[in-house]
A = this chain, B = another copy of it.
Amino acid sequence: MAVTMNDVARAAGVSLKTVSNVLNDYEFIRPATKQRVQDAIAELGYEANLTARSLRSGKTRMLGLVLSDLSAPYYAELASRLMKAAAQRGYRVLVEQSDAVADVELNALQGPFRQLTDGLLFTPLIIDAEAIAARLGKKPLVMLGEHILDPRFDLVTMKNEEAAAALTAHLLAAGRRRVAVIGARPEESTGSPGLRLNGYRKALEQAGVPFDPALIAPCEWRRDNGAAAVAALLDRGVKFDAVFGLNDVLALGAMHELLIRGVRVPDEVAVAGFDDIDEARFASPSLTTVSPGMEEIAERSIALLLDRIEGQETNSQGVHVEAGFQLKIRESAP
C-alpha cells in the first residue's frame, strides 16, 4: 500500500486536512507546522495520488492531442515540441491518432479521451465545424491546422496561403513556368491543401503565368503518394519544370521518383516542399521549403489552451493565432 495523506498526518501529528493545506500552499499555516508536515512527507516518501486528486478536483493536468498519424514527421516533431511546452507548465500530453477516420475524431471530442484531459489540441481532418460545435463540451478546445476556420473556435495556424504564394513566387522568379502541385485536394478551398493551392494560384496570377489544371495532382499526404503522383504525371507526358509538394514528405517522395527516372533536380525540375521537417535539410539535394514556425505554433497553442483552462482567457469568441513563416531556399530549388 502506498503512503497516504493520512499516514503523513499521523506522523506529523496534525490533521489530514492540514497536510492537504500544506500541499496546496494554503496561506495560514505556522512555519513550524509546515516544516513538520514537510519532514513527514520526506521521511515517508509520500506522493500525492493523482487519481484521487483528479476525482476530487475534476482536473487531470493532461492535455489531449488529436492528430492523424504520429509517425508522419511533421506531426512527430509537433507532438514532441507540444509535449515539451506542456511539461514546462506542469501538464502532460495524451496523444490520440485518428488515422483521419471520422469516428475517431468524433469520439475524441466527447468520449473517454475528452474525460481524461483538461483541454484538447485538435487537428481535424475529416469532420466539419458543425460536427465539432455540436459536440463542444465545457472543456477548452484549440484547433490546430486550418481544416476549420470558424470564428467560434480558438485556432492556431500558419500562414498557409502567404507562404505558399511566396514559395511559388520564388520558383517563378527562378524562371520556372510549369509548376506541378502534388497533394492538392481541388474540391476543398479550406484546409492546408486548399489554402496552399490558393497561394500557388495567387502567385501565378501575380506573375501572369496561366494556371494549368493538368499540373495539379491530388493525393494523400504520404511519401509514396508523392512518388506515385510524379510518376503518373511523367507517364502521362505532362511537361513541368518544377514540383511543389504541398508538404515535405510529398516533395521528398516526388524528388525520389524524379531522380530514379534520371530527371535532374534542380537542373531539369526544381522541387519545393512545405513544413521544413528535419529531414529536408539533409535530403540530397537538400529541399527548398517553408518553415512554418512550428516552435511558435507549439508554444502559442499550449499557452492559449492553458489560458483557457486556467481561466485567464475569457474571450467568448475564438482567438485566432497565426505564426510567422520563413522561406528556406536550398539546393532543390535555388
A contact residues vs B (CB 8 Å cutoff): 47-52, 54-55, 60, 62, 69-71, 73, 76-77, 79-81, 83-84, 87, 92-97, 111-113, 115-116, 223-224, 227, 252-253, 255-256, 259-260, 278-279, 281-286
Contact = CB atoms under 8 A, between A and B. Distances in A.
Contacts of A47: 111-112, 115
A55 B54 CA distance: 9
A258 B112 CA distance: 50
21 contacts: A47-B111, A47-B112, A50-B115, A50-B116, A51-B54, A51-B55, A55-B55, A70-B76, A71-B77, A71-B278, A73-B73, A83-B95, A87-B97, A92-B94, A95-B95, A223-B279, A253-B282, A255-B284, A256-B283, A256-B284, A260-B284
Contacts of A80: 69-71, 97
Contacts of A113: 92
Contacts of A97: 80, 83-84, 87
Contacts of A260: 284
A227 B60 CA distance: 43
Contacts of A252: 279, 282
Nearest to A227: B282
Contact of A71 (B76, B253, B285): B76
Contacts of A285: 259
Contacts of A81: 71
Contacts of A278: 71, 223
Copies in the complex: 2
A76 to B, nearest CB: 4
Contacts of A94: 62, 92, 94
A92 B93 CA distance: 12
Nearest to A59: B51
Contacts of A50: 112, 115-116
A83 B70 contact: yes
A329 to B, nearest CB: 16
Contacts of A84: 97
Contacts of A255: 284
Contacts of A279: 73, 223, 252, 279
Contacts of A76: 70-71, 73, 76
Contacts of A71: 73, 76-77, 79-81, 278
Nearest to A94: B94
Nearest to A92: B94
Contacts of A52: 55
Nearest to A60: B51
A223 B112 contact: no
B227 A256 contact: no
A41 to B, nearest CB: 14
A231 B129 CA distance: 51
A130 to B, nearest CB: 19
